[in-house]
Structure 1
Amino acid sequence: MDAPVLVAAVTLLSALQMVYLARRVGWSRMAHKILPPAVTGPPEFERTFRAHQNCVEFYMLFLVCMWSCGVFFSEPIAATGGLVYMIARLFYFNGYVKSTKKRLPGFWVSVAVVFFLSLLGLIGIVQQILHKYFYIYR
């Protein structure tokens, strides 16, 4: 099996995106003069903080689903899904910073991508189990 270089590249890009989003929280802290560990302040800061926290909370689900799809189903599809997820999360974050209602399009696209990647990963895992342990399929 070849190294999953596409999925690894998207993983690295997504980690850099998470660093950028964390930095946005830092910039918001400075703009609103909110010192750590405080997490409350003007609504603009609180929306930025929550947007980042929501991205952190969803990140592990995304990684597991992307890697499962990439290893067991299709690496190019998983990498493409990962890039779509990253774009959707950026729209989610930027929308949330402006207004809680503006986060929804990015949210729903990212949920759809995670669902799609998890479904394909599950299909690939079932195929592998059927082939490896029951000598059927493929």
Structure 2
Amino acid sequence: MYHLTALVTLLAIAFYFFTCIYVSRSRSKTGVKAPAMSGHPDFERAFRIQMNTLEWMPIFLPALWLFAIYVSNAGAAAIGAVWIVGRIVYFIGYSQAAAKRGPGFAIQATAAIALWAGALGAVVLRLV
């Protein structure tokens, strides 16, 4: 069973939901009315946090599950947890200033690439 990977998946979705709420609150706080996508820098950073998280979900989630299936459920969950921590670090940094987003981005990108590379390697090994 893949309970650990399922838990990480649910936590990733919860984090994404949190970023959606953050954007909504930022929109209200800064006065950026829908459908505007720009205006106040605080809103723009909040929006980019949400969108960047969304952009990485289709990379992260399939890689997470393929790693769990072909390599290790616990390993996938551990690396997936690192991805979530990276997204949180990204959120904190980018919320303060665009220049502070790098460390969180690097953490989550490294975790996603590790999941993808591990899954790819395991699948290829089974094919040969």
- 1:22 paired with 2:10, answer no
Give the match for residue 101 of structure 1: 99
Instruction: Please tell me whether the aligned partners of residues 32 and 40 of structure 2 are also in contact (alpha carbons under 8 angstroms).
Output: no
User: Is the radius of gyration larger for structure 1 or structure 2?
Assistant: 1
Is residue 2:128 matched to residue 1:127? Answer: no
Tell me how far apart the structure 2 counterparts of residues 8 and 129 of structure 1 sit (CA, whole Å): 26
Deviation at 1:5? 1.5
TM-score with structure 2 setting the length = 0.95
TM-score between the two structures when normalised by the length of structure 1? 0.88
2:67–2:76 Cα contact (<8 Å) kept: yes
Computed over aligned residues only, the root mean square deviation of the Cα atoms, in angstroms, reads 1.0
TM superposition shift of 1:19 = 0.4
| 1:78 matched residue in structure 2 | 76
Residue 33 of structure 2 corresponds to residue 67 of structure 1? no
2: distance between equivalents of 1:94 and 1:37? 25
Q: 2:87 aligns with which of 86, 89, 100?
A: 89
Q: Which runs of 4+ in 1 moved over 6 A?
A: none
- The answer on 1:46 being equivalent to 2:64 is no
Question: Which residue does 1:36 correspond to in 2?
Answer: 34
What is the count of residue pairs matched by the alignment? Answer: 128
